[in-house]
Amino acid sequence: MTDFLNFDLCKTSELVSSGELSAAELTKASIDRAEALQPKLNSFISLEKDEVLEAAESIDKRLRQGESVGSLAGIPLAHKDMFYRLGKITTCGSKIRSKFKGDRTSTALSRLEKAGALYLGGLNMSEFAVGPIGNNVHYGDCLNPWNQEHTPGGSSSGSGAAVASRTVYGALGSDTGGSIRIPSAMCGVVGIKPTQTRVSRFGLMPLSFSFDCSGPLTRTVRDAARILHIIAGHDPKDSTSSRRKVPDYETECDKEVASMRLGIPSNYFYDGLDADVDRLLRDTRKIFEGLKVEIVSVDVPSHDHINLIWAAALAAEASTIHRKWLRDRPDDYGPMVKRRVEFGLYQPATRYLEALTLREKYLRDYCDTVFSKCDALLTPTMPVVAPRYKDLDVGGGESMPELVLMLSRNTRPISYLGLPALSVPCGFGAKGLPAAFQLIGRPFSEGKLFRLGNAYQEVTDWHNTIPEIVE
């Protein structure tokens, strides 16, 4: 593999901008890598070779002419195949939308293109972004780069696999209950679920009006900070997007962490951990202590009711979006997705309204009882490392709901509350599979999370470990 494919986004961007590496050469290497690994990982649904090479050559020409192209000049990215592009097919990982052409372009994609990023293709995903596993009955299962018998996590499965395999330097995913953080953890990459409303959702196929958000999966915390800075901010096309000023997240990465307070939950998040995950989280805590971060124990409010009403609200909103297709094309859904989406048809309006009206109260309680004592929470992203596909119920069987809840137990409460959360790889279990920790903060505290996550990566090397995949 060409050495520069191993570099992080920020370093590679410097090479392209300085002329040491051409965007065309870089893009050709990414295409070759994608094609070589597709039979192994199945991380792509579509690969746009001709278009992206033409765009790369245009970037090189502009750079030779002395033009300032942007902070992502010539960087190949690929994205979960649910971000619309005008006139281009966006499958959403489904049979139903296998020929759907977007009538608009996602604001997030437009902002990345304006910054000079290149679009390599659409990435595999769980059908309609439903499910934490990464299986797909229509386009084939995406596989984990560290061990192809294991799941890469979902629903942004291709995003995690493509970044971890060093095929692309970053990828957008969506997160409604953990769909950025779960594949980030399972694939050993960084993933940021920003504060609800931080990033425009215009041009993103919806799953839940209340909980959907999007963000990047990258190789390093600093890479994620750069991409989030570009895509964040108010969008007139999305009235729900925040008008709050977007900080320079890369600058935030360089700030000191000494004397920051990191909260360790005394309940819920550390219950039932896999032995490897427990060991690696203990090691992580020691590293932060070595960085002079103050570790404090905090009680978090009960998550039992939060989990129940999150599930009810998500199902109600998803079934509203899918109601017509459920009526007209029920057989075109995979069994797991169909069962989960249909569940919302039987949710009473009282439970749905309860979920929405209680959200502000639960968020206020969380800020008062948790973030009054610490700058961020430190939790496992997931209680386990990536399981094997053959050990999972990926259909609509009786064990499926329990499986989904187990994999997302540490991520879905944060989605309900709309809080920012950063997943960072923190080592490997006995079977060579990655684990990760999650930093959770107050609304719009992404800068603090980046600061802590970057400080951790400056004294550790997990993010530089590359999976061995025989091409």
Q: Is 413:307 a contact under the CB 8 Å cutoff?
A: yes
Alpha-carbon dihedral 393, 396, 397, 401, rounded to 10 degrees? 80
Copy the structure tokens of residue 351.
């439970």
Catalytic residues, which ones? 80, 155, 179
Burial class (CB in 10 A: 0-12, 13-18, 19+), 269: buried
**Other C-beta atoms within 10 Å of 233: how many?**
17
Q: Which among 103, 70, 113, 110 is positioned nearest to 235, based on CA atoms?
A: 110
Q: Please list the alpha-helical segments (H only) found in 233-303.
A: 249-253, 275-290
CA distances from 244 to 195, 240, 349, 375, 447 (A): 11, 12, 32, 20, 13
CA distance 198 to 235: 10
Q: Which among 246, 247, 179, 249 is positioned nearest to 211, based on CA atoms?
A: 179
